């Protein structure tokens, strides 16, 4: 009797699940790295392209408005360099250069003249903006009441104003000339004011810097409020009744003082510093 030996079936080698993971991980990392590289390249190209598109879309604009009967001017701007001047012209004119978005407002409504930049857009985040502009007012408007609001950028104005109001959220505002009254509110940024013959002035700053010189005839009353900022106030060399209040910070008063003087100065400092000097 012959016995036939049948060998057992070969058992296939077991697959280690962990080995599959080890082989997959490098591939995943490679794919993620490649994707990240593409994203970086696309982002770089987009960031470079948007300013180029904005520059290509930049345009200029000139407009004029008759101002007979105008008694107040309102200026509301953002992301711009604006210059305001008075000149021997018959109409108010606005000359805007290299702006890339929307349309400026330059219109008269009854006795009011309004100037405003376009609203912000996503393009402004990548280099778009409202350009550079010059607002020219006729000399006949000397003494006009004027309100200037700056959300960002800068305004440089010179001339003779009536009641002058300045509000600065960020950036810079500089004014020279004369005014009947002055109100300046500097939230952040820098204000530079050099005016003559101001009768009353109300100044305030929060986390900003306000440098003010009031020359000519000394003002009757000045108030200044400082919160986490600084005020430097220069007045004509007269005698003033000066009152100060300080909760944090300090006041350096170098004015000549006399209680009961008809010219008054009141300064409140909650945080920051105030310097009072005479010309």
Per domain, the residue ranges of the chain are: 23-57, 59-278
From CA 48, how far away is CA 36, in angstroms rounded?
A: 18
Q: Which residues contact 191 (CB under 8 A, 6 or more apart)?
A: 166, 168, 172, 173, 174, 184, 205, 208, 209, 210, 211, 212
The CATH number of domain 59-278, selected from 3.40.50, 1.10.287, 2.160.20, 2.40.50: 2.160.20
| % pLDDT > 90, the chain | 71
CA torsion through residues 247, 219, 193, 232, sign = negative
pLDDT grade for 103, boundaries at 50, 70 and 90: confident
Q: What is the pLDDT of residue 99?
A: 75
Between strands 264-278 and 221-235, the pairing is parallel
3-class DSSP state for residue 103?
A: coil
Average the pLDDT over 200-205 and give the result: 98
From CA 208, how far away is CA 165, in angstroms rounded?
A: 17
CA torsion through residues 28, 31, 34, 38, sign = negative
Both tokens assigned to 71:
């008694």
Asked which of 18-22, 62-66, 106-110 is least confident by mean pLDDT, the reply is: 18-22
From CA 262, how far away is CA 93, in angstroms rounded?
A: 42
Cβ atoms of 160 and 86 within 8 Å: the answer is yes
Both tokens assigned to 269:
């400092």
3-class DSSP state for residue 119?
A: coil
Between the alpha carbon of residue 106 and those of residues 93, 141, 165, 188, the distances in Å are 9, 16, 19, 27
Asked which of 19-23, 75-79, 110-114 is least confident by mean pLDDT, the reply is: 19-23
For the segment 230-261, what is each residue's pLDDT rounded down to a tens digit?
A: 999 999 999 999 999 999 999 999 999 999 99
Q: What's the pTM value of the predicted model, to 2 decimals? A: 0.79
| Number of C-beta neighbours around residue 262 at 10 A | 12
CA torsion through residues 253, 195, 197, 185, sign = negative
- Terminal C-alpha separation, the chain: 135
For residue 32, what is the enclosing H or E element?
A: helix 17-57
Q: What is the pLDDT of residue 119?
A: 72
Write down the residue that tokens 């070969």 correspond to.
10
Cβ atoms of 67 and 92 within 8 Å: the answer is yes
Asked which of 5-9, 186-190, 219-223, 269-273 is least confident by mean pLDDT, the reply is: 5-9
From CA 218, how far away is CA 164, in angstroms rounded?
A: 17
Between strands 208-215 and 91-99, the pairing is unpaired
Q: What is the pLDDT of residue 33?
A: 59
pLDDT grade for 45, boundaries at 50, 70 and 90: very low
DSSP 169: S
Q: What is the pLDDT of residue 30?
A: 57
Environment class of 88 (CB within 10 Å of its CB; exposed 0-12, middle 13-18, buried 19+): exposed
Residue 175: which of 158, 198, 163, 153 has the closest Cα? 158
């Amino acid at each position: 009797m012959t016995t036939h030996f049948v060998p057992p079936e070969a058992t296939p080698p077991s697959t280690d699940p962990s080995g599959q993971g080890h082989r997959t991980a490098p591939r995943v990392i490679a794919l993620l790295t490649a994707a990240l590289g593409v994203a970086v390249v696309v982002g770089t190209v987009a960031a470079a392209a948007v300013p180029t598109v904005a520059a290509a879309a930049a345009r200029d604009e000139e407009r004029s408005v008759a101002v007979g009967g105008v008694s107040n001017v309102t200026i509301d701007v953002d992301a711009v360099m604006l210059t305001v001047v008075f000149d021997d012209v018959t109409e108010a004119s606005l000359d805007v250069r290299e702006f890339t978005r929307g349309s400026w407002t330059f219109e008269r409504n009854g006795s009011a003249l309004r100037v405003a930049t376009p609203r912000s857009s996503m393009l402004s985040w990548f280099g778009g903006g409202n350009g550079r502009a010059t607002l020219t007012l006729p000399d006949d408007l000397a003494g006009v009441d004027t309100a200037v609001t700056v959300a960002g950028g800068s305004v440089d104005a010179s001339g003779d104003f009536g009641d002058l109001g300045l509000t600065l959220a960020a950036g810079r505002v500089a004014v020279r000339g004369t005014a009947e009254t002055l109100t300046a509110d500097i939230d952040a940024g820098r204000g530079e004011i050099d005016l003559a013959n101001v009768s009353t002035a109300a100044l305030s700053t929060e986390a900003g810097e306000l440098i003010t010189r009031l020359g000519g005839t000394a003002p009757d009353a000045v108030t200044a409020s400082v919160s986490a900022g600084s005020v430097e106030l220069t007045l004509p060399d007269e005698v003033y009744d000066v009152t100060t209040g300080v909760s944090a910070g300090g006041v350096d008063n170098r004015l000549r003082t006399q209680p009961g003087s008809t010219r008054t100065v009141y300064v409140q400092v909650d945080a920051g510093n105030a310097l009072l000097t005479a010309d």
